[in-house]
Chain A
Amino acid sequence: MTDLLNVKNLRIAFPSRQGPVEVVRGVSFAMGRERLGIVGESGSGKSQTGRAILGLTPPPGKATADRLEFDGTDLRQATKAQWRDIRGERISMVMQDPKFSLNPVMTIGRQLTETYRTHRKATKAEAQERGLEMLNAVQIRDPERVMNAYPHELSGGMGQRAMIAMMLVTEPELLIADEPTSALDVTVQIEVLRILDRLVSERGMGLIFISHDLRLVSSFCDRVLVMYAGQVVEEVKATELTRAKHPYTKGLFNCLPKIEGGERPLPTLQRDEAWAL
């Protein structure tokens, strides 16, 4: 089986007065149609890794890689036309905060059908129908109202689900979800994960799930990449996270408080400079 996505030695650098600062330093991984988690703390480069796959590194940042292949296509050499065919159609991305990533002056319906009509030769009516279907699929109770609503008229959870619907309307082969549930309440979080889970198991979609929440990722993904200071320090099977070897992964896992109670004071993470070398 060929890999859906193959990344080798991905590096992302931003220029600064002291010379270029590398925020991602040689990340490599390959994935199939599975749930891959990328975990790290703020500044670890996990979000930049996700964006670079879609060629969305914000200028003046520069992303380079020895290999960046999606289903046999070399993304490094992709032309604008090729990107247009890939983005939104074959690879989609769900951003963290619906408040910032939805267009505030367009109704949800227009944003939802826009994606579909750009990529499929569909009539307005067809797109509308498909949009309603998708909103139903993400368990929005009154899809008609949501279609005509502006983003500010929806709650955070609804907005996030609407955005997921938008990204899935074209049935992409790979979904990059950057903290898709961090802004949501725990009970809604589980619902959104259920939707993503079904898409992976039923449609065979690949999913990259980027999050700072180690516990959540380990309970949801198949495999987890742990990032620290721009590098992957460890790759573990999600079920074996408690047996992780790297001191950073262990420290991150142990410093979470537990409902059942535990050590007091909480063990804190002792950072070792060698991890960042």
Chain B
Amino acid sequence: MALLDIKDLNVTFSKGAERVHAVRGVSFAVAEGESYGIVGESGSGKSTVLRAICGLAPVTGGTIRIDGQQLADDRRPDFYRKVQMVFQDPYASLHPRHTVDKVLSEPLAIHGFSDRETRVEQALEDVGLGKGFRFRYPHQLSGGQRQRVAIARALILEPRILLLDEPTSALDASIQAEVLNLLDRIRGERGLTYVLVSHDLSVVAHMCERLMVMQHGQAVEEMTRASLQSRSATQDYTRKLLIASLGYRAAQEEQAS
């Protein structure tokens, strides 16, 4: 049975008479321990899918099941013990006036953990930062270090599912490699389940066993890592993305031929 099972998900944002149908009937299932990628361009609704799972976007249709249990409209605290999210921009997702210690202790306090001290130190160790970072403010950290803190914050409640929304797109290439390696290692150690959203096909190919391509709020195609690597897409849109990912010169030649 799938750990995360989404059927016919619809998200509509409305403001007055205006309606934006951001996600239109998306379905997918992720097994325990699997890493699932969602790829698409900006505005395709890929991040909205993650936000809908977390209860941050207005779900207007469809069902989300975790462990076979359908989620109610409002998320209960035990949901957040199971599912945590890492956001795209580590410059925006950490409170500028909270120390790392405060950022990491808050979820522990909410969920009534008693051994906060050791857990905070352990979480910092796990993401490769160490105790020395505990009382720093975000502005005293680099982008990569901030993203590590964001990952530590997500991991501190020992969730089973991690939702990753473009976790490395705000980082330099060398830092991206370090963060991807960190995520890969943690998944192996803890048997976590990932849903990773990215616009970068090579990141998804590296991190995920299966992926879904989205466009205009709809799922265009579902692929395995192997079919992505052999570039055997069946849909035009996916092919277009694959060609664009080859870089400028190759894309020019591809178009000419």
Contact = CB atoms under 8 A, between A and B. Distances in A.
- The 8 A-B pairs at the shortest CB distance, nearest first, are namely A219-B247, A257-B206, A255-B177, A269-B174, A185-B41, A186-B244, A265-B181, A41-B172
Nearest to A255: B177
Q: Pick the most buried of B202, B229, B231: most chain A CB atoms within 10 A of its CB.
A: B202
Given A185-B42, A258-B205, A259-B202, A269 B249 contact: no
Q: Pick the most buried of B199, B229, B249: most chain A CB atoms within 10 A of its CB.
A: B249
Given A185-B199, A259-B201, A269-B177, A212 B172 contact: yes
Contacts of A267: 177
Contact of A266 (B206, B240, B242): B206
B173 A255 contact: yes
Contact of B202 (A155, A189, A218, A258): A258
Contact of A186 (B173, B174, B241): B241
A257 B180 contact: yes
Q: Is the interface of A mostly helix, strand, loop or mixed?
A: loop
Given A41-B173, A185-B42, A252-B174, 10 more contacts: A155-B43, A186-B241, A186-B245, A187-B244, A194-B252, A213-B173, A259-B245, A264-B206, A268-B177, A269-B174
Interface in A223-277: 251-252, 255-262, 264-269
Nearest to A189: B244
Contacts of A21: none
Interface in B184-223: 184-185, 199, 201-203, 205-207
12 contacts: A185-B199, A193-B248, A197-B248, A219-B248, A220-B249, A257-B202, A258-B205, A258-B206, A259-B205, A259-B231, A259-B245, A265-B181
Contacts of A193: 248
B2 interface: no
B206 A255 contact: no
Interface residues on A, range: 35 or more
B178 interface: yes
A265 B177 CA distance: 8
Contact of A257 (B143, B203, B242, B251): B203
A101 interface: no
Nearest to B207: A257
Interface in B226-257: 228-229, 231, 240-242, 244-252
A218 B245 CA distance: 13
B248 A216 contact: yes
B63 interface: no
B247 A215 contact: yes
A219 B42 contact: no
A123 interface: no
Contacts of A257: 177, 180, 202-203, 205-207
Contacts of A188: 41
B27 interface: no
